[in-house]
Chain A
Amino acid sequence: MDLKEQIKNALKGDLDSFNQIVLEYQNLVYNQAYRIIGEPDAAEDAVQEAFISAYKKLHTYRGGSFKSWLLRIVSNACYDEFRRRKRQPVAPLYPENQNGDETESVSWLEDTEEKPEEFVLRNELSEAIQICLDRLEFEFRTIVVLVDLQGMDYASAAKVIDCPLGTVKSRLARARRNLKDCLQGFRELLPVEFRHLGEV
């Protein structure tokens, strides 16, 4: 059954058809949510809310890119979750060592002189990127995730965040600059081909 058929059936109230769409898109949606929010639990909540919202608003889908339509809902759900978490901050449950420092946090690995190899070995490049993404403001983070991580073009991204093309262009450029500066701190953790970042 193709996507159009699934959507058609889902609109008739066939939840199974919609769940097939969920299974097809849940990795994409979860990645989007996780990269925007930065917390697995919050991302899960946002994804679930996004799919519920998508089901209820399915009648508003007027064709075109379903991925863009869905990611827009996810971005809104992430924004809601982000604001909710901001109002009610959740204390991290990382264990602390004798000095009261978090032992599992990768923030301390930003100092590459300490144990960068261990960082790489644990394949935490993803986490380093996440740290840098978390340092961006929500709007910039969303656009960079849409374009660089999800591979969307500017027009689609503009539809997702409901902003003009010029805004996408400027926000993305600023986000990339900030990320470039942030990732320089993790230079030793990056793959060899990327270690020249910021050297020029």
Chain B
Amino acid sequence: MQITDRDWAQLSAYLDGELSGRELIKVRKKIQTDPLFQAALEQLKTTKQILQSAPRIPAPRNFTLTPEMIGMKSKNPSFSRFRLAAALMSFLLIGVMILDFGGTLSLGAMSAEFSPKSIEAQLESIPEIAADAVQEPALLEAVGEVAEEQVVAEYTEDFANAGAPAVEAEAVEEVLAEGVAEKGQEEEPQDTDAATETNRAQGGDDLEPTVQAWASQTPEPLPAVIEYYPDDEIHEPEGSDGISILRILEILFGLGVIGFSAAAWTKRRKSH
């Protein structure tokens, strides 16, 4: 009797205790009755024993994984947090710098109004107003009060608002006053006198000392102003009250960027 493939499979399973029920009874019966089956079973048993006796080969090395092996980025949470904070600070810093720069540009344009040429041109127009003013007491009053107080005060205020130093505002005020005086004195002296007389006649006693002061004053040369504001320079007004909020924010965010970057770098180095 020949042992078929199916018989070999049954014997193999019987050897491993993987048969049950009718199959087990059937195979057991064959083994008991057929010596060929007994021999085949013995051969399989021996083969299995030989395989089981094969020595275990220890792993030649450790197969532990590294983050690089699994393409894993650093799981260090604090490192990631510091890096994120540094990035956030950088964005904020850039934003504040853009705001600051934009503000500077608009203020710079404003400052251009107070450039030497602009001021000079405006100063030149003021004596004309003064000259007209001397013809009528009302206009003279306007020159005396508007030119001296309102116009100058406006410039002064503008300068102050624009962040110009008080010294500059005072200088402009002084120059404006001198300019008015000079123009009135040199170009229309007789008219000034006439206006003074007219004014006095109308009871404008308070204007007389002003006009007399103008006449007695020695005009200062305008280049002094030009020296203060060079032609090719647009003055960037500085905060009249110290460092602006934007500057403070820039410093804070800049420090934040540096600090968080350094912390992230340190953490990363430690993790490696």
Contacts and interface: CB of A to CB of B under 8 A. Distances in A.
B60 A19 contact: no
Given A48-B69, A154-B16, 11 more contacts: A13-B72, A18-B65, A31-B56, A126-B55, A149-B54, A154-B18, A170-B5, A172-B16, A173-B44, A180-B43, A197-B47
Interface stretch (A21-29, A61-69, A94-102, A113-121): A21-29
A30 B60 contact: yes
Given A13-B75, A26-B63, A31-B57, A154 B13 contact: yes
Task: Categorize the interface residue count of chain A.
Answer: 35 or more
B143 to A, nearest CB: 83
Pick the most buried of B53, B57, B59: most chain A CB atoms within 10 A of its CB. B59
Contact of B43 (A15, A19, A197): A197
Given A22-B62, A153-B18, A173-B12, A197 B75 contact: no
B61 A44 contact: yes
Contacts of A174: 5, 8-9
27 contacts: A13-B72, A18-B65, A22-B62, A23-B62, A30-B59, A35-B54, A40-B60, A44-B60, A44-B63, A48-B63, A52-B65, A148-B48, A148-B51, A149-B52, A154-B16, A170-B9, A172-B12, A172-B13, A173-B8, A173-B9, A180-B43, A183-B47, A190-B50, A196-B46, A197-B46, A200-B39, A200-B43
Nearest to B48: A148
A34 B64 contact: no
A137 to B, nearest CB: 15
B210 to A, nearest CB: 85
Given A15-B67, A55-B70, A176-B12, A27 B51 contact: no
B51 A144 contact: yes
A11 interface: no
Given A126-B57, A129-B51, A52 B69 contact: yes
Interface of A: 13, 15, 18-19, 22-23, 26-27, 29-31, 34-35, 40, 44, 47-48, 51-52, 55-56, 123, 125-126, 129, 144, 147-149, 151, 153-154, 169-170, 172-174, 176-177, 179-180, 183, 190-191, 194, 196-198, 200
Nearest to B38: A200
B49 interface: yes
A26 B62 contact: yes
Contact of A169 (B12, B44, B50): B12
B145 interface: no
A148 B44 CA distance: 11
Contacts of A172: 9, 12-13, 16
A151 B12 CA distance: 14
A170 B7 CA distance: 10
The 7 closest A-B pairs by CB, nearest first: A200-B39, A173-B12, A173-B9, A148-B51, A30-B59, A19-B64, A180-B47
A29 B51 CA distance: 17
Contacts of B44: 173, 176-177, 180
A200 B64 contact: no
Interface string B173-214: 000000000000000000000000000000000000000000
Interface in B114-157: none
Nearest to A200: B39
A13 B42 CA distance: 51
A47 B59 contact: yes
Contact of A179 (B9, B16, B38, B51): B51
A48 B59 CA distance: 11
A169 B15 CA distance: 11
B30 to A, nearest CB: 15
Given A30-B57, A174-B5, A149 B50 contact: no
B11 interface: yes
B58 interface: yes
A186 to B, nearest CB: 9
B8 to A, nearest CB: 4
